[in-house]
């Protein structure tokens, strides 16, 4: 009899605890939230820390607007003082490594602060659900040390990946290497000058993964409308591997750049590029305009 009653009591306590853990609560500043998992006694995030987490953005109808689980890499951010009342930054400081929660934030406040229009499917006056799962919390010093260690490790992995690719493609002496590890293969020589830092370059390009899958091209990208890309070189407007590779090219030249992930999109990747991907870019350097601010 005792054990039967104890079992019922234990079940009741478990149900009540579960309901309490997942109920919607509100902070003094108006942030609505639900805690799903919480580790007692863990180190909580504070302003100035780097938080790594997976997040899922949901509109008021629970339709997914973004899910970093599907992007292949978690989201990282510097924890800052909450920019407005009801901001989810307040809620992040409640969490420790391994915790999960959902925050409900005013869509108007969130996107107005970011100076962005409301995305499709999000109505004015509604809340955005931000479901998070904390992967790690680090001080800036801890984060920088971890990043430096991971960077050096990935450089070695990329170097082997590129060496294997060059051997498989029989590129041999055709592949020239820059100081930082970018390889370029000239496919059509050019007789014009090379660009200098700050010059405006016009290029046609096609970006591919090592398996040949095209993820972007100036010739087919609807935004480019078939026109060459134009940008100042050497001032940080494109990935570092592009900066170094394009500055080696002559006007009129066509070349393939083989860019290590550490000089491309790194461990984050993007929606069409997996994390830590070595990239291929077929580039045609069409024109060079000298730096308009040069004396």
Q: Which domains does the chain have, with CATH numbers?
A: 25-138 (3.10.50.40), 160-289 (3.10.50.40)
Strands (E), 44-91: 50-58, 64-67, 75-78
For the question of whether the overall pTM of this predicted structure is more than 0.85, the answer is no
Is the pLDDT at 15 greater than 50, yes or no?
no
Who has greater pLDDT, 235 or 259? 259
Q: 78-113 pLDDT, tens per residue? A: 999 999 899 999 999 999 999 999 999 998 888 877
- In which band, very low, low, confident or very high, does the pLDDT at 161 lie, cut at 50, 70 and 90? very high
CB 57 within 8 A of CB 129: yes
Mean predicted confidence (pLDDT) in 205-209: 96
Q: From the candidates 265, 273, 283, 288, which is the catalytic residue?
A: 265
Catalytically annotated residue among 50, 162, 216, 273: 216
With a cut of 70, say whether residue 11 has pLDDT above it.
Answer: no
Spot the catalytic one: 49, 88, 281, 286: 281
At residue 118, the pLDDT reads: 83
Q: Note the pLDDT of residue 9.
A: 34
Among 108, 239, 282, 287, the active-site one is: 239
> Per-residue pLDDT for 228 more than 60?
yes
Mean pLDDT of the 23-30 span: 91
258-269, pLDDT tens digit by residue? 999 999 999 888
How much is the mean pLDDT over the chain?
87
- Note the pLDDT tens digit of each residue in 53-67: 999 999 888 899 889
Which residue in this structure is represented by tokens 């991971």?
A: 150
Q: Check pLDDT > 60 for residue 251.
A: yes
Predicted pLDDT of residue 271: 77
Residue 170 region by backbone torsions, left for phi larger than 0, else alpha for psi between -120 and 50, else beta: left
Residue 205 appears among annotated catalytic residues: yes
- Residue 24 to residue 158: CA distance in whole angstroms: 46
Q: Please tell me the predicted confidence (pLDDT) of residue 60.
A: 85
**pLDDT, tens digit, 9 for 90 and up, residues 118-136:** 888 888 889 999 999 999 9
Catalytic residue selected from 75, 84, 165, 215: 215
Evaluate if residue 8 carries a pLDDT over 50. Answer: no
pLDDT at 136: 95
Choice among 49, 158, 205, 273 that is catalytic: 205
Catalytic residue list contains 265: yes
Q: Calculate mean pLDDT across residues 203-210.
A: 95
Residue 99 bears catalytic tag: no
Reported confidence tier of residue 175, pLDDT bands at 50, 70, 90: very high
103 is catalytic: no
């Amino acid at each position: 009899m005792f054990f039967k009653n104890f079992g019922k009591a234990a079940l009741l306590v478990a149900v009540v605890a579960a309901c309490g853990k997942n109920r919607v609560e509100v902070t003094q500043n108006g942030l609505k939230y639900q805690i799903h998992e919480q580790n007692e006694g863990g180190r909580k995030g504070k302003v100035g820390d780097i938080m790594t987490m997976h997040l899922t953005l949901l509109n008021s109808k629970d339709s997914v607007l973004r899910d970093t689980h599907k992007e292949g890499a978690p989201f990282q951010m510097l924890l800052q003082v909450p920019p407005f009342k009801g901001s989810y930054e307040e809620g992040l400081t409640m969490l420790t490594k391994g915790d999960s929660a959902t925050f409900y934030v005013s869509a108007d406040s969130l996107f107005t602060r970011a100076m962005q229009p409301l995305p499709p499917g999000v109505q004015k006056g509604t809340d955005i659900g931000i479901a998070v799962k904390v992967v790690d919390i680090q001080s800036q010093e801890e984060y920088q040390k971890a990043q430096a260690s991971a960077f050096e490790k990935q450089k070695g992995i990329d170097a082997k990946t590129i060496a294997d690719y060059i051997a498989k493609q029989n590129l041999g002496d055709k592949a020239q290497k820059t100081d930082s590890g970018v390889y370029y293969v000239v496919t059509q020589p050019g007789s014009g000058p090379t660009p200098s830092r700050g010059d405006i370059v016009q290029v046609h390009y096609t970006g591919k993964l090592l398996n040949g899958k095209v993820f972007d091209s100036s010739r087919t990208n609807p935004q480019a409308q078939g026109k060459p890309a134009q940008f100042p070189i050497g001032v940080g407007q494109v990935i570092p591997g592009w900066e170094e590779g394009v500055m080696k090219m002559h006007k009129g030249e066509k070349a393939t750049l083989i860019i290590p992930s550490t000089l491309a999109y790194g461990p984050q990747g993007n929606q069409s590029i997996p994390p830590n991907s070595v990239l291929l870019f077929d580039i045609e350097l069409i024109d060079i305009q000298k730096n308009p601010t040069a004396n």
